[in-house]
Structure 1
């Protein structure tokens, strides 16, 4: 079952929404070339060219994700895939195994390269009956 503290996930969601508001990431709904963002988890680690490493908010969020223990980063990947619909919550052990196989030092950039990361994480939490409704950013 989900071991990462949901507040950590909610923090990432909240910060990613700030990222979106500042238009620091591409919105696939505004982009005519939506197919670039429709990556499955096998391809996405190799598709990082659109990530902007010179953005302070992005660097802060990447640093936060990278500072999480490896098992929590793996759970973030898995939760994203559940939220994206690649796996169901009943397949948690399978998705954790797949995410562990794909884990590497680029995990933060992989996750931040997904324009719908916040949505995927919110959906992933919802699949486990969790939400960020009671989240307070100051608790982290």
Structure 2
């Protein structure tokens, strides 16, 4: 079950798209999340890139917690296509983020 707020995920997506100018802000934003939010964000990216199926989201979260070896911000920011993976993960879980995207623009 998704417990991280969709607006936080959308903020990460937005900052990841602007990585050249928003890298420091993205790193700080992710660092400020609690451990559960970081694990959920990682799990969303994994679902979005096809490493886990949507129905295995809870398992992905548990894996993110148990296998974390580097700071989450460093790991995610090193992931190719982070924004696209997060968008695909949200879509796969059936979370509509249209309202949150409009609020950022």
TM-score by length of structure 2 reads: 0.89
Pair member with larger Rg: 1
How far 1:104 sits from its partner (Å)? 4.5
Please show how residues 47-62 of structure 1 align to structure 2 within 5 Å: 57-62=22-27
- Is the 2:76–2:82 Cα contact (8 Å) retained in structure 1? yes
How far 1:130 sits from its partner (Å)? 1.4
Superimposed CA distance per residue, residues 86-118 of structure 1 (whole angstroms, 9 cap, x where no aligned partner) = 111111221111111122551101101112000
SS of the residue 1:75 aligns to: helix
- 2:49 aligned with 1:84, yes or no? yes
CA-atom RMSD, angstroms? 1.6
Q: Which runs of 5+ in 1 are unaligned?
A: 25-55
Moved over 3 A (4+): none
Q: For 1:130 and 1:124, locate their aligned partners in 2 and report how far apart those are by CA, in whole Å.
A: 9
More helix by share: 2
Superimposed CA distance per residue, residues 46-102 of structure 1 (whole angstroms, 9 cap, x where no aligned partner) = xxxxxxxxxx62111101101000100000111110001011111122111111112
1:122 corresponds to which of 87, 90, 94: 87
Q: Which runs of 5+ in 2 are unaligned?
A: none
SS of the residue 1:64 aligns to: helix
TM-score by length of structure 1 reads: 0.68
- Is the 2:15–2:25 Cα contact (8 Å) retained in structure 1? no
Q: For 2:69 and 2:36, locate their aligned partners in 1 and report how far apart those are by CA, in whole Å.
A: 12
